[in-house]
Amino acid sequence: MIYLDYTANTPADPAVLNAFIAAEQRYIANPNSTHIAGQQARAEMDRVTSSIAQHLGVQPAEIIYTSGASEANNLAVKGIAQAARHIGKHIISTELEHSSVGASLSVLQQQGYEIDLLRIGRDGRVDLDQLRELLRDDTILVAVCAVDSELGTVQPIREIAELVKLYPGCRLHVDATQAVGKTDLWLDGVDTMSFTAHKFYGLNGIGALYKRRGLVITPQISGGASTTIYRSGTPTLGLAVSLDAALTLALDAQAARTAQVRLLHDRLVAALRRYSLVRINSPETAVPHIINVSVTGIKGTRFQQALSEQGVCVSVKSACSSDGMPSKAVFAVSRDRRNALSSWRISLSHLTTEEEIEGFLQVFDTCYKTLTNLSLIHI
């Protein structure tokens, strides 16, 4: 098997697994319990939270643990909107957002909130001039992903934050799920930021929301305080330890891992460009970990299935997206519905080997020739 779907999920690093197991075995009490075992667990939870906050350059009180990025996005988007409804009901976002953001916006729209989506340029970046035009006194939220999962586009978060701060009643939420370990994080002027461990070699089931201190949001889970008043539930100490371990590794090794992935990316893109019907949809400025590809005339789902039958794992759109519809992200940059329907995603890792790249190219060549020939016959 050749696994090239690291954007959807990454294998847990052995060091992360070891940290999780050690914490689970050593700390058996609920960190909220007041007895000695609970106090020890609470002390470890405080240490881990301080470590995560230090990595991000924020305060421990600004970290909210969640079950993953989907919950964190729901908490940020709905929580900000509901808490600020007395100021206004206007929200700005993009077509590039994860379904957990898009679905949250749909729910809010049904509740009377007004949603505007920013245009996406051919380079995959949001239109800052349009953002400047759309922002108004009753705008309460701008929600943007730092790196989108389909194209790998890096959004200009610093410039967006500069525009948003001109409107005191508006908050900026950044979904950094695909950014951690791939590109530098920008938090100055950001009010909330979501991420999850399983995207950077941590465990499934643990994520976090950075929430700027002093910002009031409406909790989405009722039932009493945990490590924060904004999210109920028994603190998952072992998972928090594993999140810290994964984040430490991801940030410490980011430069070396990204340089390694860049070499694989450049080789792969150069090889794919030799095929006349191949179109690379990811912009030149995208993170090297994500390569979005279309083969003209062949639906992405069909090409993905052909690759899968040969033991190669790639994705069509986000793993959390519904099937059968063209990629909104690819359509936004190409303005071509057929091209969007033909798109699929390769995602690389520092774990990807030269042998796997060679193996993929051999399988791709076979699938390309078979499917394009069949397409010509049907025409």
CB-based contacts of 94: which residues, under 8 Å, 6+ apart?
A: 117, 118, 120, 126, 143, 144, 145
Question: 228 pairs with which residues across the strands?
Answer: 231
Alpha helices in 278-353 (DSSP H): 300-309, 328-334, 337-341
Helix (H) or strand (E) holding 115, with range, is: strand 114-118
Q: Tokens for 167?
A: 């409107």
Which of 145, 170, 313, 320 does the annotation list as catalytic? 320
Question: 120 pairs with which residues across the strands?
Answer: 126
- Residues in the chain, overall count: 379
- Is the CB of residue 128 less than 8 Å from the CB of residue 156? yes
Q: What interhelical angle do 237-252 and 14-26 show, nearest 10?
A: 150
Phi, psi of 252 (to 5 degrees): -65, -35
320 a catalytic residue = yes
Q: How far apart are CA 194 and CA 167, in angstroms?
A: 22
Q: How far apart are CA 265 and CA 260, in angstroms?
A: 9
Q: How far apart are CA 248 and CA 246, in angstroms?
A: 5
Count H helices and E strands in the chain, helices first: 12, 12
Q: Is 274 exposed, middle or buried (0-12, 13-18, 19+ CB in 10 A)?
A: exposed
Alpha helices in the chain (DSSP H): 14-26, 36-56, 69-83, 99-110, 128-134, 157-164, 237-252, 254-272, 300-309, 328-334, 337-341, 354-378
Which of 182, 145, 184 has its CA nearest to residue 56?
Answer: 184
Helix (H) or strand (E) holding 140, with range, is: strand 139-145
Which are the catalytic amino acids?
A: 320
